[in-house]
Structures are given as C-alpha cells and as structure tokens.
Structure 1
Amino acid sequence: MTVGIPPDRLRLLRQLRQSAAPVSPVAADTTVVVKPDGGQPPLFLVPAVSGSPYAYLGLRTLLPADQPAVSFEGPGLSGSAPPSGSVEQLAAHYLTAIRRRWPHGPYLLAGWSFGGTVAFEMAHQLTAAGARVVLLALVDGAVPGTFASPDEDEVAAAFTRDLAGYGITADALEPDVRQRRYAVFRANMRAYRAYRARVWSGPAVLIRGATSTEPTAGWHEWCRGPVVERVVPGDHYSMWEPASVGAVADALSAAARTALAGE
C-alpha cells in the first residue's frame, strides 16, 4: 500500500495506467488517460518533479464533458527506462507519446510546478517542428534561471518537503518505491537547475495559487506573447485538494476554450 494516498485515488491511478492504449512501448509506459471522453483536442498535463500524474486525477470529473485530458508517468517511476537526464530529453520523451496519440495538433499543454518548465520546452520543440501550440498553461511553477547543481543533501531535503506536500513521509514508502521516486526526483531537480530557457512568443496562461510561495513572477521575461494570469485558491499543494481543485479545472477549461475558439 502507498501510504498517504487515499485508497480511491490510488485505485483510480492504477486503473488509468492500465487503461492506457498500448500503441507503443513509450506510450504504454508513460501515458495516463486522466479523462478519456470528449471531442476536443486533448489537454496534455505534464507531471511535476515527482514524475507522478497523481495531482491531476482530481480533474477527471471537473473538466468539461467535451475536454479529454492525458498525463504521463515520468520515466524511471516504473518499467525499465531510467530517469531523463535533462528537461530537453524529458520533453522529447513525452512528445513521442503525444504524437502517437495526437499526431497533427493543435496542441494544448499544461504543467504544474516543474511540469510547467517541461511543458515550456515541449512547446518550443513542437513549434520548431512546425506544429501549432495554441495553449501553454504554466501552473504555479518556479521560473527557470541560472542555478548551481544541487548536492545530495539539498536533493534529499527537497524530496522530503515534496512528499510532505502530499501528506507522505519517505519512511512510509516501500523501499523500491522510495528508491525509484528519489531517483526520478533527483534527476528532475538537477535537470531543472541545468535548463536554460529561451523566449516563448506564443500565447501563455499563468495560473498561481493565492497563497503559494513559488517564485512565479519572472515568467513574463520568457513569455513575450499574449499572457493571461489567473489566481486560484490554495498554496502550491493545496490548490489540488478538493476545496480548491475546481478552480484549477475552471482556469484550465477557460484557457482551453479560448485557445480553441480561433481554430
């Protein structure tokens, strides 16, 4: 049993992983269908530094009936693939899965926390390949910058804080789960510190928690196209809890509708 995760949410996560269409080894290993129904282009939800799509599962019943949503399980959490070594590599990994499900666009991308940085890079890679990104939603994510690579003590402390945000302690995890989660977290944290952003000229939506302390203010330096800002209740983690996640769903739904209105 995974301690700290409600049994109903844990069952749903397992069911969604099993329901991913095995169209390729990459898609079967990483794709988690959060909401399968709907005729609109899928909203692709990029995981945070943990590599887990868990936070997004609360959106399943809150998104509009016509809006499907797909997330991913980061490489290294399960299966034989190792964690990715860079944001660019991780973005390319997720894009391989995306293109097998939705090869021609338009593309709706959203990412929470570290996932925002990966979605940002995915938008660049899609655009460079000639694809159309009509939505880039950055959800309460710290702005990329110039940072020193973290040492092991810093990674361990950040890993413990991140688990605490979900109500989990490291000691409560099964050893294999803890080892995998730590390896993914460490790889992603180092990848974030090494990433060098470049200006995005397309549309962007910045969603932040009203009481979050994440340093989100600098995204305007990198997002030079039309930018819309939305504030939702909660902090970096509590924004995904039942009392607040409806506002996140509303913000994402409104952004998707606006992005697709001109299609």
Structure 2
Amino acid sequence: MSREHTPPTGSAAPEASYVRLLPGSRTPTYAFVHPVGGSVSGYVDVVAALPARTECVGVRARGLSPRGEPHHTIPTMAADYLDELLTHHEPENLVLAGYSFGGLVAFEMARQLRERGRTPAGTVLLGTYVPRHDVSRAERAATFARLISVIYRVPVERLRLHGLDDSGMVDRAAEVAERCDALPAAYRQADLRRLFQVLALNLRMAQEYDVPSYDGPVHLVRPERPDPQDTLHAWRSRCPAGVLTHDIGGEHNELMSGDHGVRIAQALAVLWPG
C-alpha cells in the first residue's frame, strides 16, 4: 500500500483529495472515503487483504494541509470528491465505500452519481449509522474528546471540553495534545489545530446531514457493538432498492483493523470477484 503524499508547505499545487492506495488491473476499483478524522490510513488492513491486482484509491479530507479549505456540508464534499474521482475512473467501475462518517459521504456520492445518470458498481457503508439531529453540545464535545483520545492517544480526562464551542474545543485539544507524551510520532510535527478543526467540522456536518433517499442497492457492514437497533431499519427506509447486511462482529472502533479488516476484504472479494 502506498503512503499518502503531502507536498511541502508552500507548494503551488492545490490540495488533492484523491490518493492511490494500491495499483492494480482488476475491476472494480475500490474508492475508500475517509472517516471523520480525514485520513485514509485506517483502511490499510482491508486493502492489504484484498485479492492481488485489486486497485484501491482513497479520498481524504481537504483542509488537512494549508493548501486546502475544509468542507462544511456533506453534499458539497461529495460533489467535489466525485468530480476528482471521475477524472481518473469511470463511475461504473467504482465501488464507493466508507467507514463510519465516510459511509455517509460515499452514500451521498452514489446518490449524486444517480442524479447525473450514472451508477457506481457498488456502495458499501462500513459501520455507518444514520445520524441523529438532536445531538447536544455536551454529547458532541464528548464524542470529539473520545475521537481525539482514540486517534491521537490523548487522555480524555485531560481535555476538559465541557461548555466550549467548536473553536474552543479545537484550541483546547490542540494545546493539550502538543504537551502529550503519548502523541504518536507521526503527528509530532503536524498542525494539530488544523487536524482537529477538520474533525470538529466533520462531526457537525454529520449531525446536520439529512440523509436522503437513494434508489440503488446498498451494502451495510455491521459490527457487533455498538449497533443501535434501528440502524438497519433507518437505512432500509432510505434505500428502496434494498440494503444487504454483512455482520463482521467486534467493536465499532475496531471494525477496520486486524481480523475484522480481513473479513471485510473477504466479503468485498465475494461481492465483486473481478
């Protein structure tokens, strides 16, 4: 799997979302949309377990570097990602897939493709829930803190985000993370405030996204825990062509890694044998 490449700061090239993860000649091509943190590095175990010669590409968030501005709505994000993807691939050869937040974006991309008169080879939601609109500020702050802890290994108890708005949460989290010895080496020289801003924006975008109807088939990969009881019903109410479920097991936060990632790759290979 190739590494994501970020040109040096000051480069004239605009920030691209499209990144090649694995070259290949088999069809279809899997396009993995970033989860809430913005990076596509979490797909490494799935990509590595796919059959030989499978082409995989990623779509990472804009705004992770100074050369790009982050998106503010999922429909706008999906439209821009589609435009970039379709300069490289025919839509009928693409399986659009996304983990958690990325599944919402992949779903919206598939829906917009149908509006353009085209249809992807498949749409896969990996542990993706239909978002709630009634999330309180305290709930969103707790989710933000949990994700900072999971992704960046910053202890939740050190964040103390209660009562802060999104900008305040981002500033506070960046200040704490910069002093955290457990911060992974890959992020030691990163602009943490920029990374955390993308995370906070994506959380807000998910809460505000009103999931529309989509008349193409959808595959829903589910973990064992947590899985709200109405998840399948919520997706089926928006997908009249049907939702096929694939139960992988395990925790939501571990769905893409280790044996669970291998099981996802095996399921994809069966669905689209090439």
Whether TM exceeds 0.5 here: the answer is yes
Task: Report SS of the residue matched to 1:100.
Answer: coil
Query: Are residue 76 (structure 1) and residue 93 (structure 2) matched?
Result: no
Letter in 2 for 1:228: L
Find the residue that maps to 2:44 and give its secondary structure: helix
After superposition, give the CA deviation of every residue in 1:136-175 in whole Å (9 maximum; x if it has no partner). Answer: 1111111134x14753x54443222113334622524548
Matched, 1:186 2:200: yes
- Show structure 1 runs of 5+ residues with no match: 1-11, 20-24
8 Å Cα contact 2:93/2:121 also seen in 1: yes
Q: Cα distance, 1:256 vs. partner?
A: 2.7
Would the aligned equivalents of 1:140 and 1:216 in 2 still touch at CA under 8 Å?
no
Q: Separation in 1 of the partners of 2:109 and 2:136?
A: 24
Give the stretch that moved more between structures: 103-112 or 208-217.
Answer: 208-217
CA distance in 2 between counterparts of 1:104 and 1:205 reads 17
Identify the residue that residue 121 of structure 2 maps to in structure 1: 134
3-state SS, counterpart of residue 225 of structure 2: coil
Partner in structure 1 of residue 253 of structure 2: 237
* Cα distance between partner residues in 1 of 2:93 and 2:118: 7
* Mapping for residues 131-210 of structure 1, pairs under 5 Å: 131-145=118-132, 147-148=133-134, 151=137, 154-166=139-151, 168-169=153-154, 171=177, 172=180, 173=183, 174=188, 176-210=190-224
Q: Which amino acid aligns with 1:100?
A: T
Aligned-residue offset at 1:125: 0.8
Displacement of 1:208 in angstroms is 0.7
Identical positions, percent: 27
Please, which moves more after superposition, 176-185 or 131-140?
176-185
SS of 2:75's equivalent?
helix
SS of the residue corresponding to residue 51 of structure 2 reads coil
Equivalent residue for 1:227? 243
Larger Rg: 2
Letter in 2 for 1:107: L
Aligned partner of 1:67 among 54, 57, 65: 54
- How far, CA to CA, are the matches of 1:97 and 1:78 in structure 2? 18
**Corresponding residue for 1:92?**
79
SS of residue in 1 equivalent to 2:191: helix
> What's 1:6 paired with?
none
Mapped partners of 2:218, 2:134: distance in 1: 28
Q: If the length of structure 2 is used for normalisation, what is the TM-score?
A: 0.78
2:269 aligned with 1:253: yes
**TM-align CA RMSD:** 2.6
Q: Which residue of 2 aligns with 1:22?
A: none
The worse-fitting range, judged by mean Cα deviation, of 60-69 and 170-179 is 170-179
* Residues in 2 aligned to 1:104 and 1:229: alpha-carbon distance in whole angstroms: 23
Q: 2:4 aligns with which of 16, 37, 45?
A: 16
TM-score, length basis structure 1: 0.81
Helix, strand or coil for the counterpart of 1:205? strand
